[in-house]
């Protein structure tokens, strides 16, 4: 399945009137449907998380996770990272973080792009995967277990 095929498949899961899939806004029944669809795509999923009880501010946690994610993706020869835009200032912080990594040669080949979530269905896939991982971390492994053969979770 090509990237365009995958994009088309995930877009078909959007309900009438729904701008995008967003795990947080879906019912349990819909989450099951979405995670089964995501598991059926020929994709590997890599999630980097910090401990729930870690006292750092969320932006510092994001930077630490992004740094490790870039490192792991480069080891896998993945150099194109596409993130959902969180707004101009937050996107700029992500780019600045990557630029700092590039000066140390840690991410010399990596490119980072931000996209608006409602316009890029491929971003709905990591949203669902992250939702499944968060559910597992808070007590329900049901969704994450569906992905188990295609999912790696790195705790830092």
- Provide the residue range defining the domain that includes 56: 3-155
Indicate if the pLDDT at residue 67 is higher than 80: yes
Indicate if the pLDDT at residue 74 is higher than 80: yes
> Could you say which DSSP state residue 15 is in?
P
Average pLDDT over residues 64-87: 94
For position 112, what pLDDT does the model report? Answer: 96
Contact 135, 144 (CB under 8 A): yes
| Averaged pLDDT of the chain | 94
* Cα–Cα distance measured from residue 102 to residue 94, given in angstroms and rounded to the nearest whole number: 12
Average pLDDT over residues 57-64: 89
Closest C-alpha among 145, 152, 143, 147 to residue 30:
143
Name the pLDDT band for 103 (thresholds 50, 70, 90).
Answer: confident
Name the pLDDT band for 45 (thresholds 50, 70, 90).
Answer: very high
Name the pLDDT band for 36 (thresholds 50, 70, 90).
Answer: very high
Domain count for the chain, please give it. 1
């Amino acid at each position: 399945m090509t990237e365009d095929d995958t994009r088309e498949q995930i877009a078909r899961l959007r309900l009438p009137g729904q701008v995008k899939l967003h795990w947080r806004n879906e019912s349990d029944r819909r989450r099951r449907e979405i995670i089964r669809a995501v598991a059926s795509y020929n994709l590997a999923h890599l999630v980097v998380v910090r401990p729930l009880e870690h006292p750092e501010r969320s932006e510092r946690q994001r930077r630490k996770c992004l740094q490790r994610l870039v490192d792991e993706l480069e080891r896998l020869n993945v150099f194109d990272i596409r993130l959902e835009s969180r707004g101009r200032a937050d996107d700029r912080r992500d780019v600045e973080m990557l630029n700092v990594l590039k000066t140390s040669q840690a991410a010399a080949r990596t490119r980072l792009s931000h996209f608006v979530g409602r316009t890029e269905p491929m971003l709905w896939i990591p949203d669902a995967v992250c939702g499944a991982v968060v559910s597992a971390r808070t007590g329900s492994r049901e969704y994450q277990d569906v992905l188990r053969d295609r999912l790696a979770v790195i705790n830092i």
